[in-house]
Amino acid sequence: LGQSRKEGNNNNNNIVNQRDDTYGTTSLMLACAGGHHEVVEVLLAQPCINMQAADREGRTALLYAARKGHLHCCQALLLRHSHSTTESSSSFVNQGDETGLSPLQAASLNNHVEVVELLLDQGGACVDQVDV
């Protein structure tokens, strides 16, 4: 019984963090891009979820959510990150894509004021980060 549970967890890890072949996106990235915060919360409840995974262009779930202005998705990601690691939130929040675009910059560029405020107030976003 213990062995089958362990195998089930490994299979669940593979499914939850599986990437598509074209863009390298995960289910969490797609849910964040679509603003499906209830799906995001279900995925974040999985202990094996990789919140820092990046697609082929370096975009993370937080970057997808921030770019589209999905406040509830951003909140869920920040909350889960704060409860799941001792790592500082600034490295999670400031992780940019391959061009250097950060979640804060993406939210700012698209006039998502509430997301900008959240990233600054609760996420520790760096206002001095420069994209390349």
Secondary element (H or E) of residue 85: none
The 3-state DSSP class for residue 83 equals: helix
| Burial zone of 76 (CB within 10 Å; 0-12 exposed, 13-18 middle, 19+ buried) | buried
pLDDT for the residue numbered 82: 85
pLDDT for the residue numbered 17: 87
pLDDT for the residue numbered 11: 57
Residue ranges of the chain with per-residue pLDDT less than 70: 1-13, 85-89, 123, 126-132
Measured CA to CA, the distance from residue 62 to residue 74 in angstroms comes to: 6
Quickly count: other Cβ atoms within 10 Å of residue 129's Cβ: 15
Percentage with pLDDT > 90 across the chain: 61
pLDDT for the residue numbered 31: 97
Q: Which tokens sit at 117?
A: 């405020």
Q: Specify the pTM.
A: 0.84
Q: Which residues contact 30 (CB under 8 A, 6 or more apart)?
A: 64
| Burial zone of 39 (CB within 10 Å; 0-12 exposed, 13-18 middle, 19+ buried) | middle
Q: 59, 64, 77, 88: which is closest to 118 by C-alpha? A: 77
